[in-house]
Structure 1
Amino acid sequence: MASITSLGVGSGLDLTGLLDQLREAEQQKLVPIQQQVESEQAKISAYGQLKGGLSQLQTAASALNNAELYESLTTSVDGDGVRAVTSNDAQPGQYDVAVERLATAGSLATERVAAPDEAIIDGDTELVFAFSDGEMDSIAIAEGSSLENIRDAINAESDGRLNASIINDGEGYRLSVNATETGADASIQSTNFSDILADGVVTSDTQVVQAGQDALVNVNGIDIVSSSNQIEGAIQGVTLDLNEANTSNTITVAQDSQAISEGVKAFVEAFNTLKGTIGDLTAFDAASGQAGQLNGDSATRAVESSLRGVLSGMVDGGDLQVLSDVGISLQVDGTLSLDESVLDSAIANQPDDLANFFAGSDSKSGMAGQVNEAIGQMLNDSGAVQNAISGSERRVESFGDRLSRTEVRIEETVERYRTQFAQLDTLMSQMNSTSNYLTQQLAGLNQQQTQS
């Protein structure tokens, strides 16, 4: 008898459907394992949110832990004649700055020649410029050079000290040479231009020299002369850029209270954002029975406890010792509230104490430093958050292995069912064949008896 290739063919039973139902029933064993995997993956994602909130708070704390924040200054200028830029060396104060004269660069225009592109040099020669503070290296002028060639040689070989161009004054062409540096000492006094011209070159008029001048400013009644319109050192830590002569200006250098205030606000907002994230992750809805991914999580409780302990602590070394002294209070719901009027008063009246409170004498002694250190310990490789993440990752891996083993066992069980069903199908097919044979034989005997 041929073997059965499709279940149910021999028996007439729906063994394939029955096998599928048994497979589905066996696969239900995977559901709780998959749910455990999903639960741990959701925890890992939740830990990621917690880690992100802690990192943002750490960033805000690091900004407050920088002593330079409390030394930063802002500069305002009343007037259009000067701009001011401060450095860390500047000191708060107000300065009256009168710009009486701007620094200018000297210039020289040569005698006129008839055309800019005609040769005016006979033989190689050298062009020399004399300055108020001495001479510069001579400039090589090639035989047959025109006014244009001389211009190009000056621009190429003056080491950036001169800028040459050609002007047409309506009666002829002149070489116009400007010093690139301002101030009286950088003025061009003369040149040997007319002495190097070839015989027969006709010139008209004389050289026109315009001397450069130094800038003159008066700062709080003191005259200051500068060869440049950018003046450093007239006011400690302040660089002045002069824009307009004959102007009166007032420069005010003050502590940058806005930067400090914004830093404190950012810290409070970052903490409250973190608190809101933790609240969402640990929430429990009694009506629906739904719980956040980190509800009851020990690592999250440790994070909250550590931060609460730091923020409730004291800072030594100044009159401002606790958060409430700078206008920050811990609310009943665990968030922080900022009284800006108290903070503004501390910024204006106790800047050194405020700097000591947040930044301390070293990177770990101030309130911001303590918060930064606490978060660093939570997030490092052996910290509570990273340990929790690593634990969930190990459980996901373990559940994955268990899932694979269970899937293998399910397939083995289904194959065993398949073999048993095939054997049943074959047996029933044989029994049906035997039954049919016996039925035929009995029918033949009955027929013989009837005929006899």
Structure 2
Amino acid sequence: MAAITSLGVGSGLDLSGLLNQLDSAERLKLQPLTQQKAANQSKISAYGRLQGGLSSLQAAVGRLNDPKTFEGMSSTLSGSGLAVATTSSAAPGTYQVKVDKLAQAQSLATGGVDDRAAPLGTGTLAITAGDSSLSITLDESNNSLEGIRNAINAEKAGVTASIVNTGTDTGSRLVLTSDQTGTASTLDVTFTEASSGSGGQLNSLFLDLEQTVEAQDAELTVNGITLTSQSNTFEDSLEGITLTASAVGEQQTLTISRDTSTMKGAVNNFIEAYNTLVGTMSSLTSYNAETRVAGELLGDAALRGVQSQLRSALAGLSEEGAYKGLSDLGISLQLDGKLKLEKPERLDAALSGNITDLSTFFAGTSSVSSTDGFAGKLGSTLTSLLDSNSALNRSVEGLKTRNKGLDERYARMESGIEQVVERYRSQFAQLDSLIANMNATSTYVSQQFDALNAQLGRE
């Protein structure tokens, strides 16, 4: 409410200042509502931090619940000119690899033509490139070197045509190149005249084609065995391993091994995410006796429920498999509630041993993420804790509903206060006018007495 500056003009009293003080005093009634809303909002933020920690743990647990996490393979090469990609079916081992040949696409070139736009004859041009073929009728609309090139490329049938300007007396040459590499994609070109003698220069151009690039398969030697491929990619030669050659070179060593760093990283990420969550819960339930400052969720029932369910999930033991619990992998629960990889040699032994046992413990026996392993069970617990109908979400929604009610009460009380202050303002205005009138009357009476005294010579 704006300060009233016109009050007090008639009376000489600071009625405007008094009205502002009354306004401030009335508004003190709003403070409990403001404080309660701030406390509720602080709790909502605290629940948000707790849910964020649960979501981070859920993501880390999700990686452990994915069997693919334990199927990763890594590869190293001692040389260059070769790229490697592996799948889970690749077998660890060492291979001696040498790129002997790169795959090539065949290219054929016609003889030279002085004028690339001049008509060359009529007929039918048929080209086969591996499993693809095309047939083009050449007439006055497309029988120049440029027209033939455009007609071939428009078919998109396994062969690409281009024109090369030799810069010599031979002029321009039409070059046909197979779109695929390897000997299975060689070109077969046939030209047939439309009628006797109508072929013109095209007869000789397509009869005397020159092979400028020979079709060639890629060749790779692996442990003394020669492998061939129509392209520079060898997909099925070694199970689970795809080799892509880019340059001919000397023999090099290819090493395929289990990607234990990714697996170990997933376990460590889980421990870190869990400990971060425990630290968050500890902060939210803390109490400082010296400052008498308590955490936002000290004594909160929803948070205690979260702690209880997580402890139960961690303590659960598997009835089957080589590993029964986290302790079998060297992971122990500390006094402060956090996890620690106390005996890393146990995890290293599990990673270097039968990886299926480790995958079964975390991800269960299914080929996809399931709920029968440690991570699956913990993941189910986290899903229920974060569910829209969970105690956490119900608590948050309850606080939001309370804040909405507080906002409505605040608006009603503020409206009432404004009405009270307006009543005061009206009363002060009346008082100001009354005192002004009284002052005016007093002044008039004084003036009359002064005039009477002057007439009576009493001055």
Normalising by the residue count of structure 1, what TM-score does the alignment of the two structures yield?
0.83
Q: Which amino acid aligns with 1:320?
A: Y
Q: Which amino acid aligns with 2:229?
A: S
1:372 is aligned, of 379, 382, 390, to 379
Q: Do residues 386 (structure 1) and 393 (structure 2) align?
A: yes
Partner of 2:36: 36
Is the CA contact 1:347–1:354 (under 8 Å) kept in the aligned structure 2? yes
Q: Do residues 333 (structure 1) and 336 (structure 2) align?
A: yes
1:153 is aligned, of 144, 151, 154, to 151
Is the CA contact 1:82–1:249 (under 8 Å) kept in the aligned structure 2? no
Is the CA contact 1:120–1:201 (under 8 Å) kept in the aligned structure 2? no
1:127 is aligned, of 125, 128, 145, to 125
Distance 1:438 1:245, change over 3 A: closer
CA positional deviation for 1:374: 1.7
Is the CA contact 2:125–2:135 (under 8 Å) kept in the aligned structure 1? yes
Distance 1:18 1:271, change over 3 A: same
Q: Do residues 248 (structure 1) and 251 (structure 2) align?
A: yes
Is the CA contact 1:219–1:234 (under 8 Å) kept in the aligned structure 2? no
- For the aligned residue pairs, the C-alpha RMSD in angstroms reads 3.8
Is the CA contact 2:132–2:158 (under 8 Å) kept in the aligned structure 1? no
1:110-165 Cα shifts (integer Å, max 9, x gaps): 3x34524363623x21234467x699433332348444443443333461324443
Partner of 2:313: 310
Q: Look up the SS of the partner of 1:268 in the other structure.
A: helix
Q: Look up the SS of the partner of 2:80 in the other structure.
A: coil
Partner of 1:358: 362
Q: Which amino acid aligns with 2:32?
A: P
Is the CA contact 2:43–2:297 (under 8 Å) kept in the aligned structure 1? yes
Is the CA contact 1:188–1:211 (under 8 Å) kept in the aligned structure 2? no
Is the CA contact 1:81–1:249 (under 8 Å) kept in the aligned structure 2? no
Partner of 1:231: 234
CA positional deviation for 1:213: 2.7
1:356-401 Cα shifts (integer Å, max 9, x gaps): 2221236222222222222221221221221121121122122222
Q: Which amino acid aligns with 1:333?
A: D
Is the CA contact 1:151–1:166 (under 8 Å) kept in the aligned structure 2? no
What is the alpha-carbon distance in structure 1 between the residues aligned to residue 402 and residue 73 of structure 2?
53
Tell me how many residue pairs correspond in the alignment. 444
CA positional deviation for 1:438: 8.3
Moved more, 341-350 or 440-449: 440-449
Q: Look up the SS of the partner of 1:137 in the other structure.
A: strand
Partner of 1:186: 185
Structure 2, unaligned runs of 5 or more: none
CA positional deviation for 1:6: 6.4
2:200 is aligned, of 185, 198, 201, to 198
Partner of 2:403: 396
Partner of 1:115: 114
CA positional deviation for 1:350: 3.6
What is the alpha-carbon distance in structure 2 between the residues aligned to residue 15 and residue 59 of structure 1?
65
Distance 1:193 1:217, change over 3 A: farther
Moved more, 442-451 or 39-48: 442-451
Q: Do residues 288 (structure 1) and 294 (structure 2) align?
A: no
Partner of 1:140: 137
Moved more, 386-395 or 12-21: 12-21
1:216-261 Cα shifts (integer Å, max 9, x gaps): 3344444433322222211123222123346434433332212111
Is the CA contact 2:102–2:217 (under 8 Å) kept in the aligned structure 1? yes
Q: Do residues 172 (structure 1) and 174 (structure 2) align?
A: no
Distance 1:446 1:376, change over 3 A: same
What is the alpha-carbon distance in structure 2 between the residues aligned to residue 109 and residue 94 of structure 1?
44
What is the alpha-carbon distance in structure 2 between the residues aligned to residue 104 and residue 199 of structure 1?
30
Distance 1:26 1:401, change over 3 A: same
Aligned positions of 1:45-56 closer than 5 A: 45-56=45-56
Distance 1:436 1:327, change over 3 A: same
Moved more, 273-282 or 389-398: 273-282
Normalising by the residue count of structure 2, what TM-score does the alignment of the two structures yield?
0.82
CA positional deviation for 1:58: 1.0
